[in-house]
Every structure is written in structure tokens, then in C-alpha cells.
Amino acid sequence: MTTSHLDPRLTERRNPRTAAIDLASPLEIVDLLNTEDRTVPDIVAGERVAIARAIELAESTFRRGGRLFYVGAGTSGRLGVLDASECPPTFGTDPEMVQGIIAGGVPALTRSQEGAEDVAADGAAALDARGVGPSDFVIGIAASGTTPYVRGALERAIALGAYTGIIACSPPPAELVARLDVAILPITGPEAITGSTRMKAGTATKLVLNTISTGAMIRLGKTYGNLMVDLRAMSQKLVDRGERILMEVCRVPRAEARRLIDAAGGSVKTAIVMAKLGASRAEAERALAAAGGVIRRVINEPPPPVE
């Protein structure tokens, strides 16, 4: 029997466990898909060392004033854009700090632009358009491990001297991996629906991206314990969250929390230091800068215990 029809990319192989899914009841479909999905967290955990390395590279990048770029196509690109877009409201970052680049540009976020992924030169051009240089970190996201657009971007990033990494759910070319600073390879295997990498591969990618960006922001002092102290109050929910954090940490009533945040220019982190040290805004900002942005290094005490 010939096997020439088999795709070398694991994400494109057929999954024997779901071969009869077209005859399944709704409940059976749920069970089949859930069985596949439950394998993903353990597979991602197997890449823990590489993910930690990516966090280190991202922290180093940010501390030297560089930017983190995610580059992908299709689902991979959309997940990169999603993670990047959530950093400003969650961690109070400048939108330039973490950026998502997707093949096909903005239209590809809501409508498939499948052919856009096939032009490697476009991936390189996207980095040039953003002025990527040695101080930046470029992570290519390619579920299949072979997307030309992503390969082109990574080749350009290497040439520019930037940190480079890849997230792939099928082994990328070994000669490319050997030239990258980090390779995160949660090999999720054949999808429940052949080639539909928005499923297990997409879930694994989301978990990895969450961990990289969150881990780097924690290292930068964007949290106090597990409290989100550098959030940007862009909605009523976030305004309320900021006030509640100050009330909990500093044991003050809401009116005082609101006053402190206003006096701190809207920064919950700065307001906490002002309250704890009896400092002015300028003094609190200087102390935080000297401590690398980490509250605990300034006030030398943990947040209150969880009630």
C-alpha cells in the first residue's frame, strides 16, 4: 500500500480516533472533541523550559526598550494579534510594546486571506515596515511549522539581529530551529477534523502566548502578588477593579482609593506606593523606577492574604 499521500506535517494527518465523527450524535461529538482537547495542557507543559526561556527573552527585550512581535497567518496570526491587543488594558503597556502581525493585514482578522501566507517576502517586508532591529524579539507562530510568511519574517529577523523564536505544533525545519533563540513545539498531533488547526493547535498556541506575555509582564512588575496593579482603566469595570485593589491592599475606603489613584495620575501601582510610604507621586515613581517597576522591592511587604 502506498503512503505517498500522507502529509509530513502532523497537523495535516488524519486522526483515527475521530474517523467516524460524521455519524456521531451531538453529545458524542462533544465527548470526542473534549477527549482531544484534554491532551493539550499536558503537551504544553512539556514545553515549560522553552516557554520560560521565551519569558526571559521577552523581559530582556522590554527592559532594553525593545518590542515583542508575533507573526502568523490564519488562526495563528489572529491569536498573536489577540494576545498583543490584550496587553494594554491588562498591563497598562504602550500598544507598540507587543504587536501582532498577520498575513493579509487587518482584513485577515475577520475574513480568511489564505493565499497571503504563501509569500515569504511579505513576512520580511512586514518587519521592515515596523523598523524591527536588534533590540526587538520576533516570535513566529506556525501551527504546521512551515508557513512561508512566517519563515520569511523569521529569516529577516535573524538577519536584523533580533531575538527570534517559533511556536509550532508540527516540527519545523531543523535547520531553521537551529538558528533561533527559542523553539516552543507543543506537538498536538492530528486534529479531530483533519487540518483544522484552529482546534488543538490553536488551543495550545493560546496557552503558550498567554504564558509568555503574562510571565514577562509579571517579571516587569506589572502585578503585586497576583493583583493586576498596572491595568489601564479603560472601562467602568477596570476603574472599579483598580479602586478595589487599592481598598484591599491599603485598607482604605473607596473614596480614599479614588483620591489616591487620581493623585497618582491614574496609576494603581503608584497609588499603592504613595499610600504605603506616605510619598508624593514623583517620589513613588522614582522609587518604582529604581526597583525595576516591582512594588515588593519598594515597600518590602507582600500583598494581604487572600480572604
pLDDT digits (tens, 9 = 90+) for 223-242: 999 999 987 766 788 889 99
Assigned C-alpha cell, 285 = 515613581
Q: Of 36, 47, 59, 117, which one is the catalytic site residue?
A: 117
CATH 1.10.8.1080 domain locations along the chain: 223-299
Q: Among this protein's residues, is 117 annotated catalytic?
A: yes
CATH 3.40.50.10490 domain locations along the chain: 41-219
CATH class of domain segment(s) 223-299: mainly alpha
What pLDDT was estimated at residue 252?
Answer: 95
Q: Residue holding cell 475574513?
A: 111
Q: Is the pTM of this model over 0.75?
A: yes
- Please give the backbone phi and psi of residue 230, each rounded to the nearest 5 degrees, phi first: -110, 20
What pLDDT was estimated at residue 87?
Answer: 95
What pLDDT was estimated at residue 223?
Answer: 94
What pLDDT was estimated at residue 6?
Answer: 65
Q: How many helices (H) and strands (E) does the chain have?
A: 13, 7
CATH class of domain segment(s) 41-219: alpha beta
pLDDT digits (tens, 9 = 90+) for 61-86: 999 999 999 999 999 999 999 999 99
Q: Which residues contact 56 (CB under 8 A, 6 or more apart)?
A: none
CA atoms within 13 A on the CB side of 177: 14
Q: Of 86, 248, 256, 283, which one is the catalytic site residue?
A: 86
- Cα separation, 275 vs 224, in Å, equals 15
Positions in the chain short of pLDDT 50: 1-2
Q: Residue holding cell 493585514?
A: 105
Question: Nearest-CA neighbor of 81 among 103, 56, 52?
Answer: 103
- Please give the backbone phi and psi of residue 226, each rounded to the nearest 5 degrees, phi first: -110, 20
- Cα separation, 151 vs 165, in Å, equals 11
